[in-house]
């Protein structure tokens, strides 16, 4: 049975929006120091890049010039959940979905599971993060 796990960050300040600071070829890894922080817009920059789970890096889908808006993206080894952050976990199996609010008990990176505590006191390991902003739901 296939299940898609999504953790949605609800804490203020997460995440930042970025644009490329340099030209990139198709299939190139994008590093944090090759980008600049920009004001977030409603445009979907994520269509230009994808997160490669095996390597844990952001990769370009096609050649991109400097200044290309990437939107809300995450970089390998960047803590995207901090201890105490309030998050919403959503588990989808077919047409059914279960949603629970929780508090992170430890920091986590993209692709890593982490312990959370729900409002009713249950503690469990949240699935590895596949992060989406609330605007992308």
Average pLDDT in the 18-39 region?
Answer: 89
Whole-number pLDDT of residue 118: 93
Domain segments of the chain: what residues? 4-11+79-136, 17-72
The pLDDT of residue 50: 87
Distance CA 44, CA 135 (A): 10
Taking Cα atoms as reference points, which of 109, 112, 104 lies closest to residue 10?
104
State residue 72's pLDDT score.
84
pLDDT in tens, 29-54: 888 888 999 988 877 667 889 887 76
65: phi then psi, degrees, rounded to nearest 5: -80, 160
Would you call 135 exposed, middle or buried from its count of C-beta atoms within 10 A (0-12, 13-18, 19+)?
Answer: exposed
CA distance 30 to 93: 32
Asked if pLDDT for residue 137 goes beyond 50, the answer is no
Q: Which residue has the tokens 């296939």?
A: 2
131 pairs with which residues across the strands?
A: 7
Minimal CA–CA distance to 102: which of 82, 114, 122, 86? 86
Residue in 137, 40, 126, 135 with CA at minimum distance from that of residue 87: 126
Give the whole-angstrom CA distance, residue 98 versus residue 3: 11
CATH number of the domain at 4-11+79-136, please?
2.30.30
Mean pLDDT, range 9-38, rounded to an integer: 77
List, in sequence order, every residue forming a beta bridge with 14; answer none if it has no partner: none
Count of C-beta atoms within a 10 Å radius of residue 133 = 15
């Amino acid at each position: 049975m296939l299940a898609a796990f999504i953790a949605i960050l609800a804490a203020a300040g997460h995440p930042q929006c970025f644009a490329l600071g340099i030209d990139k070829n198709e299939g190139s890894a994008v590093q944090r120091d090759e980008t600049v922080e920009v004001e977030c817009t409603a445009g979907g920059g994520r269509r230009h890049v994808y997160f490669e789970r095996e390597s844990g890096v952001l990769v370009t889908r096609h050649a991109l010039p400097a200044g290309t808006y990437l939107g809300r993206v995450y970089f390998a080894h960047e803590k995207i959940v901090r201890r105490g952050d309030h998050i919403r976990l959503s588990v989808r199996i077919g047409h059914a979905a279960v949603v629970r609010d929780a508090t992170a008990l430890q920091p986590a990176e993209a692709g890593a599971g982490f312990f959370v505590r729900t409002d009713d006191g249950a503690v469990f390991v949240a699935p590895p993060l596949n992060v989406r902003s609330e605007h992308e739901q």
